[in-house]
Structure 1
Amino acid sequence: MLPIQDLRVRSVERLVAPRLLKESLPLSAAASQTVYESRAAIQRILSGEDKRFLVIVGPCSIHDPVAALDYARCLRGLQDELKGELFLVMRAYFEKPRTMIGWKGLINDPFLDGSCNIQEGLRLARKLLLQINELGLPTASEFLDSITPQYIDDLVSWAAIGARTTESQLHREMASGLSMPVGFKNGTDGSLQIAVDALGAALRPHSFVGIDQEGFTSVIRTSGNPWGHLVLRGGHKRSNYDPESIQEACMRLLKAELPERLIVDCSHANSAKRPAVQEAVLGNILEQRMRGTTAILGAMLESYLIEGSQKIPEDLTQLRYGVSVTDPCISWEMTEKLLRRSSLRIQEALLVES
């Protein structure tokens, strides 16, 4: 026989089945309660029943589980204090889409050295999510690979479909079966329609190929996800959090007969990847909300222990603790200030309304 198959495949390694990973790191009662209650709270915010402001905040990506858990403890310390006005969810992103090349995230390359020990990456991701949820702090993550959710989705309260994958049929199908609310980001060029189309697609049932809890290739049949919403993150040419952009997004949703539910990503193109600009973006959308733009239900912030970002060095002992290795983040000190200030502004607005 002539060689015609797997010509460019170096090796194939069988992954542990989702069920086995979950048995080795089982969902605890405390984590289960956090996930259940936080998903319900986010759904109430999306429906307008809960008037709190949803804030998804945390590192651009997680490369160091120890530092990430330190950050989670800081955020958990604010949770009870601000819970009357803000619903805090920690951003816990383990998969990073790359336009060309680069580090693909903790799950793909947990040791940051190109060894790509995905087995260990999945284990580390699940362990960290379990620890954060056991603190009583809900988590949010982007699902980039369609197989990954089977290993960790029981520990995620809010999911994102990113700007590079919102147009993907596979990701729309996957979102239609996810158990948590899902935010669809607009395209990297700023286009809204692909995200609006994604919302409509994910709302409906689908059948597609995936894996089951035993790791076997299976036909997955879904019922559709009613809790999809739009995430505005700007584009190559402009930001899209201003009142005119918000109005345009609402008009597109209405035209598609979809609920007016918006979350604004204060980072990425909306801040031109300058972390300090997130403060101005957050202030702007809170002002719009207080002036009656009820479609703005929440915000995303990229935040870590130390401001800025760093490249992954060849000598990993030179990594600075608590500093992002992907997009630059605001510091914890700035995060704490912004969250407290936002809580006060919402509190004042609620008092005026009552």
Structure 2
Amino acid sequence: MTESPLEALLDNVNVVSMTDMPSPAQLHEALPLTDAAARTVLAGRSAIREVLGRRDPRLVVVVGPCSIHDPDAALDYARRLRALADRVSGTMLLVMRVYFEKPRTSVGWKGFVNDPRMDDSFRIDEGVARARALLLQLAELGLPTATEALDPIGPQYLADLISWYAIGARTTESQTHREMASGLSAPVGFKNGTDGGLEVAINAIRSARSAHGFLGMNAEGRTSVIRTRGNPWGHLVLRGGGGRPNYDTVSVRMAEQALAKAGIAPNIVVDCSHANAMKDHAVQPLVFADCVHQVREGNRSIVGLMLESNLEAGSQPIPDDRAQLRYGVSVTDPCIDWATTETLLLRAHEQLGPALPRRSPVAA
């Protein structure tokens, strides 16, 4: 259709170009879900629901890089985590953090899906295909994965390979993300607001467990009206905010009371990074140890923990010469290294063993 001169003045004024994407169905056909991968995802989701439903006293531990930028390093990390998962399986369910999208306060690298070459070429078609290929490899290893649901179209391409989702502090208040979460097939954790307030997350949990209708995309890539039944497995993620942490016993107790008042199951995941660590990755083990101590002392609401961990500690800027990137080092938030992670989880396994049988069920 030929655009009239007036239409050119009205529509897509600031759009430089549009590039066709393969449909989700086309990507799934090119990179199909294997039986082994499907079994991993189903088992991961089922196990997390068992924890949230208080039929399993273990802790869910979402652990892995702040963001994925090097699939080879991610696979290296995953193989180590898979071996560790077997060693601690009696007390913890390890779920690898595989974040492909990064929300930005202003500007910056938006993640592997958005810009896989890290050069502002924005080859999203390449990014989503490489992300799916990595998720398939991780699932075939037998390792369940977690990610942040940031772009509402993204789950159509990758959701069949994800066992747990987070909705971030910047998007928990977004109606679009609450609607999307209501249709996701995996449990979803909603983070408290960046100001530390719980209300937006509690409202999000309530909203996501309700039925919704909204515009979205189907597997063939066509705009569709999506109708959902609601997601009953929403829960709260405490990540601190407003200049203070909220993982301490008083903050956790206040969160329990707020959830009870809203009629929501007292399921709390503590993010040991971000404001809870005051943006210092070296503080994460202290936060983790404190939460393990709370569980040992009788806490029943903490059902999970999150750690930002990579092969090597710290972070690095993205260099102009990508060949200068240091292997296994985050390009977003700084992480603890593998040695620290392994030691931390093995110590927690020893400490949690005697405590978990005493975690009597609570009303879910």
Which band: TM-score by shorter chain?
Answer: over 0.9
Partner of 1:100: 106
2:318 maps to a residue whose letter is I
When normalised by structure 2's length, the TM-score is 0.96
Secondary structure of the equivalent of 2:237? strand
Partner of 1:132: 138
Number of aligned residues: 354
Unpaired runs of at least 5, structure 1: none
Secondary structure of the equivalent of 1:260? coil
Partner of 2:291: 285
Matches within 5 A, 1:67-82: 67-82=73-88
1:144 maps to a residue whose letter is L
2:151 corresponds, among 134, 142, 145, to: 145
Per-residue CA distance 1:264-300 (angstroms, 9 max, x = gap): 0000000012111111101111111122210100100
> Residues of 2 paired with 1:349 and 1:37: CA distance?
25
Q: For the structure 1 residues 12 and 51, does the alpha-carbon distance in structure 2 shift closer, same or farther, using more than 3 Å as the test?
A: same
Structure 1 residue 352 displacement after superposition: 7.0
Unpaired runs of at least 5, structure 2: none
1:261 maps to a residue whose letter is N
Aligned Cα root-mean-square deviation (Å): 1.1
Per-residue CA distance 1:168-191 (angstroms, 9 max, x = gap): 000000000000000000011111
Partner of 1:42: 48
> Residues of 1 paired with 2:180 and 2:333: CA distance?
26
Per-residue CA distance 1:77-114 (angstroms, 9 max, x = gap): 11111111110000000000000000000000000011
Deviates more, 1:122-131 or 1:283-292: 283-292
1:242 corresponds, among 241, 244, 248, to: 248
Partner of 1:315: 321
Per-residue CA distance 1:113-151 (angstroms, 9 max, x = gap): 110100000001000000001000000000100000000
- Percent identity of equivalent pairs: 57
> Residues of 1 paired with 2:297 and 2:156: CA distance?
41
> Residues of 2 paired with 1:38 and 1:59: CA distance?
19
Partner of 1:176: 182
1:345 corresponds, among 327, 346, 351, to: 351
Q: Which runs of 4+ in 1 moved over 3 A?
A: 350-354
Secondary structure of the equivalent of 1:219? strand
Partner of 2:12: 6
Structure 1 residue 218 displacement after superposition: 0.2
Partner of 1:30: 36
> Residues of 2 paired with 1:156 and 1:263: CA distance?
18
Matches within 5 A, 1:127-276: 127-276=133-282
1:8 maps to a residue whose letter is N
1:148 maps to a residue whose letter is G
> Residues of 1 paired with 2:125 and 2:359: CA distance?
52
Per-residue CA distance 1:45-79 (angstroms, 9 max, x = gap): 00110011110000000000010000000100111
> Residues of 2 paired with 1:332 and 1:283: CA distance?
17
Structure 1 residue 351 displacement after superposition: 6.4
When normalised by structure 1's length, the TM-score is 0.99
> Residues of 1 paired with 2:358 and 2:37: CA distance?
37
> Residues of 1 paired with 2:332 and 2:27: CA distance?
28
**Aligned residues of 2:298 and 2:359 also touching (Cα < 8 A):** no
Partner of 2:330: 324
Per-residue CA distance 1:299-327 (angstroms, 9 max, x = gap): 00000000000000111111000000000
> Residues of 1 paired with 2:293 and 2:241: CA distance?
22
Structure 1 residue 353 displacement after superposition: 7.4
